[in-house]
Amino acid sequence: MFPEVFGSESLNQLGPCACEIGGDKVVDLSPLAFKNDTSRYKDIQGDYYKYSWNPCYDFNEGSCRGVAGCQLVPFSRNYFPLGSQDSAKFQWSDQTPGQLQLVYQSKTGMQRTLFVTLVCTTGGQTERIVAAGERLTEPLVYDLKLYSPHACASSIPADISLSIGSLILITSSLVVFVYVIAGVIFQVFVCKSSGVHVIPNLSFWITIPGLIKVS
């Protein structure tokens, strides 16, 4: 997925529930996700309707099948899909600067759009989700707001892994070091050599500078 740039920080989506911010931070909602076809947040009361949402994995509820969000009309028990995980997109809010949102769009029936605004909470505040419901000025557009520590951006750990080339170089250096030490010990205590002659295969090492010069 391609990075989206808005203001001073770029967004690089890593999946339906994770996003890299500015190249050095990440928001990951996966600890909140249910994986058993049910929603983490179910039937949250909004305006006149109830709303369910689950990050990362689709769920089923009533006639909503394989969805990320669902709207329930309580009295008629009608269900309306509000998008699936493959429609998930992270973006900066155009209403509140610096506020990150997850946006979903349904692909069946009348197109409905769900905005989940992510509000970072710290200091032991209770995690909660609030359903504002359908926007008065934009029919079929719905708002949820998640208050959670998992909505906070955390630093990406520095990559300390070694490349294959680095591992080969380190391994080769260790082999040469062990070979030289073992050779010196053998020359001193077994062959009774002294001076430069304690270096194993001395003639080979003497020719190396000449080979380098020729090449």
Number of domains in the chain: 2
Of 107, 136, 155, the last residue of a domain is 155
Strand partners, 89: 103
> Within 10 A of 116 (CB to CB), how many other CB atoms are there?
25
Q: Where are the alpha helices (DSSP H) in the chain?
A: 164-189, 202-214
* Rounded-to-integer distance, Cα 56 and Cα 36, Å: 12
Among 104, 127, 155, the domain boundary falls at 155
3-state secondary structure of 93: coil
| Same domain? 183 vs 144 | no
Domain enclosing residue 67, as ranges = 4-155
**pLDDT, tens digit, 9 for 90 and up, residues 55-109:** 999 999 999 999 999 999 988 889 999 999 999 999 999 888 889 999 999 987 7
Say which residues have a Cβ less than 8 Å from residue 44's Cβ, sequence separation at least 6.
Answer: 50, 51, 52, 53, 129, 130, 131, 144
d(C-alpha 61, C-alpha 212), whole Å: 73
Q: What is the mean pLDDT of residues 140-162?
A: 83
Calculate mean pLDDT across residues 132-151.
93
> Highest-confidence range of 118-122, 187-191, 199-203, by mean pLDDT?
118-122
Average model confidence (pLDDT) for the chain? 85
